[in-house]
Amino acid sequence: MSSARIRFLATATAALFALTGCVSALVEPAPVSLRQEQQRAGVNSSQPARNHPAGDDFYQFVNKDWLAANTLPADKASIGAAEELSEQSDRDVRTMIEELVASHPAPGTVEQKIADLYSAAMDEAGIEARGIEPLKPHLARIRAVKSIDDLMSLMGVIGYNSPIGAGVAPSPADPDRNAVWVSQAGLGMPHRGYYLDETDMMADLQEGYREYVATILRLIGNENPEDGAQRIYDLEYAIAEMQVDEDRSLSADESMRSMTYAQLKAYAPEFDWDRFLGEAGLAGGDLYVVMDQTAVADLGDLVHDFPIEDWKLWMEFHIAHEFAAYLPKAFADASFDYYSRQLAGVTEQPERWQFAVGIVNTHLGDAVAQLYVKRHFPESDKQQVEAIVGNIRTAFETRMRSLEWMDDQTRAAALEKLLALQGMIGYPDTWRDFSKYSVEPGKLVENIYASYEFEWREQQRDLAKPVDRTRWPTHAHIVNAFYNPLGNTFVLPAGILKPPYFDPNADPAANYGGIGAVIGHEMSHGFDDQGRQFDASGRTFNWWTEETDELFVAKTNRLMRQYNGYCPFRDACVNGLGTLGENIGDLSGLEIAYAAYKLSLGGKEAPVIGGLTGDQRFFVAYAATYRDKVREEIARAMLEGDSHSPSRYRVNGVVRNMDAWYAAFDVKPGDRLYLSPAQRVRIW
C-alpha cells in the first residue's frame, strides 16, 4: 500500500476526519515591523493603514503595507507567518544537527541516527554514485509478481502502491480501541479533480504528469516509457473516476462506517482482503472502519479490470516516484519540475540543508523536537499559554451557559464535552523511543524505507493495544495546531507558540488576538458541523435534541451562504460547505478569544497603545496573523481541496459577524463589510 498514505494515517490519526490541522503553511502570514511604542508593549502588529477603511476590507486595512512590501521568492509557493516560523525552526534544527554531526555521537544512540540521516541526505555525490542501486530490490520484487494473488499481497506491503489505503487509528464507535481504517488511495496527481477536469489549464497539467511518469520510467530502464506513461495514466484515470470527493453533508456514521472483518469482505468481495491485509498484518480483527462512501468497493472491483502487467508497471513507477527526491539528480529534478514548478509555480529548489532537515524532521521528528524544546521553549512560556487556555475555557463555558438557542438537555451534554476536552500544550510528557529504528551511514533510500517499516510495525502493535490518549499526533516543533474528535483533545505544539501568535512579553490583546484565537478555534472544532457528532469521550453519538439541532443547522447554513459569496477569482469561489467546519472554528474561536481577553483584564480598561485601543489591538493582531501571499496555482488548488477559506476571508468573513469589531472601528451602514445585526451569524 502507498507509503505516503500510510505515513499520513500513522502521523495524523487516520485521515481528514480524525485530526483537523488549522494552521496551514500555505495560508498563514509573516510578522511585520512594529512601531517602537508597540514593541515596548509587545504588540505583534503594525499600525493599520489609516487610508484604507476598516469597514471596507479589514484584511487590507491591517495588512496593506506588508502586502505591498513583500514579494514571493522563486523557491516559495507562499509566504507568511507559518512559513517564517517554520523556516526559523528549521534553522534552529540545522544548528543542533550540525553540532551533533561534528560531535561524532556514539553508534546506536538517537544522536547518531539524527547525524547519519542528515549526512546521508547532504551527500549529493554519494547519492549520484549509487545511482538506482537502492531501488533495485524493490523493482525486482514488483517484477517477480506472476499472478493476481502475488499482486494483492504486494499491495499490502509498506511502500508499495495500492488503490486502497489502510492504517490504524481509534475507532469512532469505541475510541478506546484501535481499528483498521480503509479508504481510497493510489493517485499520483493531488486528487481526482486533476484527472477529471477538462479545462485547458488542467489539460496542461495532465500532459505534464504523463511526461513526468515517462521520465521516471525511462530513468529506471523502461524500454517504452511513453507508452508506459499512458497506460499508467489510464489506470489512474479509472481510479479517479471511482474515487469520491469529501461530502460534509454526510453524518459521521455515514462517512466512517464501522464493520467486522466478515462485513468488510462482504462489502467489497472482489478485493482480496485476506492477502492485502494479511501481508500488512491487519487481517482477521473485529473492528474496521470504511471511509469514502462507495469508493472502497468500487476500487476493489477495479483491480480485476486492468492487466497484471499494467498494475506492475504502475507500482514500479510509484516506488521510484516515492523515492525520487532521494535518488540521483535526474530523478529529483524531474519530481521538482512537475510537483513544484508546474503544480505550484515554484521555480527554484530550496537549499540542500533545508531538504536534509526536512528528512530528519519527517523520520526522527520526535527526537529532534526533544532537543528543540530544551533549547527554545522555556517552561515559563508553557505556563503562560496554559493560563490563556484556562481563560478561554472559562469564557467558552460562560458563553455556552448563556446561549438562548440551546435547550437545557443539549447544553448539559455540550458542557460535559467541554469539561472533558483536554489540551496538549508545548510538548509531550513522554518522548518517542527510536531504539528499534536503525540508520546506516550513506544509505538515504534504505534509511527512509526502514523508517516506513518502523512506523508500520508500531501501527501493527497499536492494533492489539488500547488507544494511548496521551500520544502526540505531531512533533513539538511543528508550526501548526490540531483538534482530534476521536480523543476530544487539542494540540498546541511549541513551534507555534512564538510571535506573532504568542509572545511572553506581549500586550494581552496581541496574545489573545493571536494564539488565543487559535486556541478558541481548536476548542470550537469539538462543536462544529463535524465535531459536534462526537461525544465527550470521542465516540460518534448524537447528543442533540431535534429542536436545538435545527437551530444549529440554520445558523451554520447562513454562514455557509456567506462564504459561498466570497470569490477570490472571477471564475472560482469559496466552497461554503467544504470549508464550513473551519469557518465555524474561525468565527467561534475569535468570539471566545475576545471574551477571554476581556476576562483577562479583570474588569479594568485596557490602555491605549500606539494610538490603538485594546479592542482595536486585539482585532489588528488577529488580522495580522493571516497576512500572506500565495501563488495562484496553489490558491486555486486550495479552493478545490482545502478545508480552510483563503486568508482574506478568514479575516473579513469573521469580523463582519462580530459586534465588538463594529464598535472598535466604528463600522457603519454603507461600508462594504457591514452586516445588519440581524444578518450577523452568532454560533458559539
Answer yes or no: are the C-beta atoms of 601 and 271 closer than 8 Å. Answer: no
CATH of 33-91+379-429+477-541+549-679, one of 1.10.3730.10, 3.40.50.300, 3.10.20.740, 3.40.390.10: 3.40.390.10
Q: What average pLDDT does the chain have?
A: 92
The segment with the largest mean pLDDT, out of 30-39, 207-216, 625-634, 639-648, is 207-216
CA distances from 45 to 30, 85, 122, 158, 272 (A): 10, 16, 38, 47, 57
- pLDDT band at residue 22, thresholds of 50, 70 and 90? low
What does the pLDDT read at residue 2?
A: 42
Instruction: Give the DSSP per-residue string, 217-275.
Output: HHHTT-S-HHHHHHHHHHHHHHHHHH-----TTS-HHHHSEEE-HHHHHHHSTTS-HHH
Q: Which grid coordinates belong to 210?
A: 504523463
Cβ neighbourhood burial of 362 (10 Å; 0-12, 13-18, 19+): middle
- For residue 41, pLDDT over 70 is answered with no
pLDDT of residue 653: 98
Q: Residue 464, class by beta-carbon neighbours within 10 Å (0-12 exposed, 13-18 middle, 19+ buried)?
A: exposed
Distance, in Å, from the CA atom of 556 to the CA atom of 680, rounded to the nearest integer, reads 11
With left for phi above 0 and alpha for psi between -120 and 50, is residue 281 left, alpha or beta?
left
Give the residue from 425, 581, 530, 488 showing the smallest Cα distance to 175: 488
C-alpha cell at 391: 481563560
Cα-Cα-Cα-Cα dihedral of 450, 453, 459, 465, to 10°?
A: -90
Residues of the chain with CATH 3.40.390.10: 33-91+379-429+477-541+549-679
> What is the distance between the alpha carbons of residues 452 and 457, in angstroms, rounded to a whole number?
9
pLDDT at residue 21 greater than cutoff 90: no
In the DSSP assignment, the letter for residue 52 is S
What does the pLDDT average to over 294-318? 96
Kindly tell me if the per-residue pLDDT of 412 is higher than 80.
Answer: yes
Residue 169: closest CA among 489, 473, 481, 535:
473
Q: At what angle do helices 200-219 and 308-322 cross, to 10 degrees?
A: 90
Closest CA to 545 of 646, 413, 669: 413
| Residue 547, pLDDT score | 97
pLDDT of 52: 64
Residue 516 · residue 501 · CB < 8 Å:
no
The 3-class SS string of 506-570 reads CCHHHHHHHHHHHHHHHHHHHHCCCHHHECCCCCECCCCCHHHHHHHHHHHHHHHHHHHCCCCEC
Contacting residues for 617 by C-beta, under 8 A, at least 6 apart: 43, 45, 507, 509, 510, 513, 606, 609, 610
Q: Check residue 103 and give its pLDDT.
A: 97
Which region among 197-201, 223-227, 275-279 has the lowest average model confidence (pLDDT)?
197-201
Query: How far apart, in whole angstroms, are the C-alpha atoms of residue 492 and residue 478?
Result: 9
CATH of domain 133-326: 1.10.1380.10
Give, in order, the Cα–Cα distances in Å from 41 to each of 269, 603, 607, 609, 615. Answer: 65, 20, 10, 7, 15
pLDDT at 167 over 60: yes
What's the average model confidence in pLDDT over 95-109? Answer: 97
Residue 42: is its pLDDT beyond 70?
A: no
List, as one string, the DSSP characters of 207-227. Answer: HHHHHHHHHHHHHTT-S-HHH
Read off the C-alpha cell for 285: 480483527
The upper half-sphere exposure of residue 138, i.e. CA atoms within 13 Å in the direction of its Cβ, equals 25
pLDDT of residue 641: 84
In angstroms, rounded to a whole number, what is the distance separating the alpha carbons of residues 240 and 307? 18
For residue 485, pLDDT over 70 is answered with: yes
Question: Is pLDDT at 533 greater than 90 in this prediction?
Answer: yes
Distance CA 575, CA 64 (A): 26
Question: What pLDDT score was predicted for residue 34?
Answer: 28
The DSSP code for 424 is: E
Name the band, by pLDDT with cuts 50, 70 and 90, for residue 248. Answer: confident
Contact 631, 77 (CB under 8 A): yes
Phi, psi angles (nearest 5°) of residue 51? -85, 10
Is residue 38 over pLDDT 70?
no
Environment class of residue 546 by beta-carbon count within 10 Å: exposed (0-12), middle (13-18) or buried (19+)?
exposed
Are 333 and 172 within 8 A, CB to CB? no
pLDDT per residue over 435-479, tens digit each? 999 999 999 999 999 999 999 999 999 999 999 999 999 999 999
490-517: average pLDDT: 97
Overall average pLDDT of the 27-44 stretch: 31
Residue % of the chain over a pLDDT of 90? 89
Could you count the other beta carbons within 10 Å of the beta carbon of residue 366?
20
Mean pLDDT of 75-98: 93
pLDDT at 36 over 90: no
Q: Of 64-78, 214-228, 327-341, 355-369, where does mean pLDDT reach its minimum?
A: 64-78
| Phi-psi region at 378: left, alpha or beta (left = phi > 0; alpha = psi -120 to 50) | beta
Pairing type for strands 164-170 and 482-484 reads unpaired
Q: Outline which parts of the chain fall under CATH 1.10.1380.10.
A: 133-326
Nearest-angstrom CA–CA distance, 169 and 287: 11
In which band, very low, low, confident or very high, does the pLDDT at 285 lie, cut at 50, 70 and 90?
A: confident
